[in-house]
Amino acid sequence: MDSEERTTNRSEQKSRKILRSLIRKQPWDLLLVIGTGVSAAVAPEIPALCSWRSCIEAVIEAAEQLEVLHPGDVAEFRKKVIKDRDLLVVAHDLIRKMSPRTGDTKPNFFQDCLMEVFDNLEQHIQNPVVLQSIIRLMERGTMVLTTNYDNLLEIFGQQQGKPMESLDLKDKDKVLQWARGHIKYGVLHIHGLYTDPCGMVLDPSGYKDVTQDPEVMEVLQNLYLTKSFLFVGCGETLRDQIFQALFLYTVKNKVDLEHYMLVLKENEDHFFKLQADMLLHGIKVVSYGDCFEYFPEYVQDLTAQICKQRSPDADRVDSTTLLGRIERFLLQLEFNAN
């Protein structure tokens, strides 16, 4: 694509319409679900952040270099990454292969490989526009959860002076506080975080304590019923077993809900089929454009439009204040006349 064509496309991109039902949402009515697309936009130099496939390939490479995976297994998993369409299954198999044979997922070498892959993340933040937008929404009450292992958002937020807190599903008290809106700058990592030696799980069986806890499940699923989830940079999230276990399995009448998903429109037929399919889950699929480079600007514009919406409560306060001032002014006129 030459510079003139790129300029034309960007001009067309700026005129892209955004659903009014989305931009009229108040920030505290939203719950952002962050996927690999966000990390890819922020730190494009780290291939492992670009997609599930890239992440798995990077972990396999690290496992080979650290000599924690047999060469035969390395070759086999590389074939699976190329051939298998269900990368989540490949990831499940990989973490189990690097775990004790007892079936327990911890301790394991998978964490060591991720630490190798995600070393010195803060040095690789190149385009913080999307992170700035997310922080702006969080300031106004938007909640955030992620399927990512990285903590780029927390690193950036701390650099901006925000009391960011990384959470995982192992800490019931923290999860309940977050779900009830008491941890303003909390980011819930439903797969765990690469920096936590106890934390990373790909299989719902690793979260039995959560999924079998009625109090936790009621609070989490209530979010899916009462908030508008906004999927940002997500591809496989709805097929993610942990996300399904937490939000989808027992939530009924999903078609009556109103969630949103921002996607790249590479193929029109695929895009419109996805739109129709996702409406059955109560999710409106929205295109940010036909090129990934449009993604940060679209998120920035969307955030700006959401944040400029006035709260109905604020309007009522302003109205009450104005009436009060008018009443005081009339009383003062009456007093002066007497």
pLDDT of 46: 87
pLDDT of 54: 87
* C-alpha 51: how far from chain center: 14
Tens-of-pLDDT digits for all 338 residues of the chain? 444 444 444 444 455 789 999 999 999 999 999 998 999 999 988 888 877 788 889 999 999 999 999 999 999 999 999 887 777 778 878 888 887 664 554 557 887 888 888 888 888 899 999 999 999 999 999 999 998 889 999 999 999 999 999 998 888 899 999 999 999 999 999 888 887 756 666 566 666 777 778 898 889 889 999 999 999 998 766 777 778 778 877 677 777 789 999 999 989 999 999 999 889 888 999 999 999 999 999 999 999 999 987 665 544 444 444 555 565 555 555 555 55
Q: What is the DSSP string of 195-264?
A: T-TT----SGGGGHHHHT-HHHHHHHHHHHHHSEEEEES-SSGGG-HHHIIIIISS---GGG--EEEEEE
Answer for the pair 288, 262: CB distance below 8 angstroms, yes or no. Answer: yes
Beta bridge partners of 167: 188
CA 302 – CA 3 distance, rounded (Å): 26
Whole-structure pTM value: 0.80
In three-state secondary structure terms, 144 is strand
